[in-house]
Amino acid sequence: MKKFVVNNFKWWKSSRGRILFVVFVFFTLIICGIIIDRWNINKIAHNVAFLEKNDEFLNDILEIRRYEKNFLLYKEQTSYKNTLEYVEKAENLLNQNKTQFQTFIGLSTYQKLQNLIENYKELFINLNPYNNGKKEEKLREIGKKLVDIAIFLDNKVKHNISRAFTLSRHIALYFGFVSVSMGCLLIYIAIYQIVRPLNFVQQSADRISKGDFSSFPRPKEVPLEIRTLIDALNKMIQELDLKHQQIIQAKKMASIGTLTAGIAHELNNPINNIVITAQLFLEEFEKDLSPEQKEYLIDILQQAQRCTDIVENLLDFSRAKPLAKKQVSIQKIISDVLKLFQNQMKLNNIELEVDMNEDLPLIKGDPTSLRQIFVNLIENAIQAMPKGGSLFIGVEKDNNFIKIEIADTGKGIPKEYLSRIFEPFFTTKKEGTGLGLAVTYGIIRKHKGRIFVESKVNEGTTFTILLPIRA
């Protein structure tokens, strides 16, 4: 048999449900108490009404006995008549309040009482004033029984009234106790189920203000509202942490951009001089140079050209060019970029899969910068698959964003490097400058978008870009 546990009910898991339950129980008990009290008051009223009738009946019986005694002692006709009058009165009282008497003393006792009065009346009528004998004894015996029953009923009714008043006092005490208990229970729910968890949330919020963006742990046995609040705060913390990291990254890139701009300008002139000097030397003394010397000069020119390319990348990275935004089609930009890499993908045995909806809305962006994003990411994906593989590009609408996924089956990126791949000059390639993804990150940020990366070594990498439709 399944054990009954109140915590299994969904409504009990929320503070609102618990408070409503306590209030419901409290008012239910109050209503029950009012009903019981009203029933008890009615019972007292009925007992009091019956007590009045019984007092009248007892008074009639006592008068019967008094006049009976006078008649038997003094043989007064007046006493005889008065005795019969009170017997008749007591008999009528029983008959007129038959239901009430039967309710309190029961049918058998009522019939017994009625028979006693009838027997008494019959004996008294047939009584000989001068020679009664056993009839007189019998008459007194019946009279005594009538008095005893009337007194018994009187005491019983008074006892019932006393018990009813005691019950009313107890009801008041019980409901005073219940009210205090329910109040304490509500205070407990308020303090331990609401205030304490909120204090915990406040302490955790203080951690956020100090730069600690770790998620809130859920306290045990907290109401549903607090769990929902903690989940919402954890979601907010994740967003804050992401924004915080983005701000740090943006500041870092701005600082590095300023630094690299100065370095690039300083390096540009010496590199140009090296290139010009090597070219002039090669042109003037080409006939006098040995093949080995020519090879050295060509190598100098190639490495100098590589330095020139690096300097150009540094300058591109450091320049804060204003975006020339207009309505553009992401599908067209990606299609144009893919055409550039068609031959390279065929040579590298890379299978391309494209999933783009045709009815995607236009977005507001700089086409040249957006093109650079996809050139960088697709080129990285191709370089990650030197022995072939598959490249997936998916484009779809995601609420107020255009979502672009670029997934390859290449080497993948080690987990410890994922947090650094957007940093300038960080690269896992032997001949990379480490600026491609940094530039990509910067362009996406300028378009108020987001970029995420997921990767597993030897399984592949997926870049997800979210670009707002209305930037």
- Number of Cβ within a 10 Å radius of residue 313: 18
Domain extents for the chain?
Answer: 6-188, 229-318, 326-468
For 389, phi then psi, to 5°, come to: 160, -155
Q: Is residue 5 over pLDDT 60?
A: no
The pTM is what? 0.43
pLDDT at 390: 93
Fold classification of 229-318 (topology level): Helix Hairpins (1.10.287)
Alpha helices in 355-402 (DSSP H): 367-383
Residues of the chain with pLDDT > 70, as a percent, come to: 77
What is the rounded distance in angstroms from the CA atom of residue 116 to the CA atom of residue 139?
10
Q: In the structure, how many helices (H) and strands (E) does the chain have?
A: 12, 7
Calculate mean pLDDT across residues 177-196: 72
Task: Give per-residue pLDDT as tens, 397-432.
Answer: 988 899 999 999 998 988 888 888 887 776 766 666
Q: How do strand 389-398 and strand 350-356 relate by DSSP bridges?
A: parallel
Task: Give per-residue pLDDT as tens, 119-142.
Answer: 888 888 887 666 666 778 888 888
Residue 393 near residue 334, CB atoms below 8 Å: yes
Q: How do strand 401-408 and strand 363-365 relate by DSSP bridges?
A: unpaired
The DSSP secondary-structure symbol of 332 reads: H
What is the rounded distance in angstroms from the CA atom of residue 384 to the CA atom of residue 377?
11
Structure tokens belonging to residue 304:
């100098």
Structure tokens belonging to residue 48:
């009091």
Residue 468 near residue 400, CB atoms below 8 Å: yes
Structure tokens belonging to residue 387:
């022995």
What is the rounded distance in angstroms from the CA atom of residue 10 to the CA atom of residue 283?
88
Q: Is residue 1 over pLDDT 50?
A: no
CATH number of the 326-468 domain:
3.30.565.10
Q: Is residue 72 over pLDDT 60?
A: yes
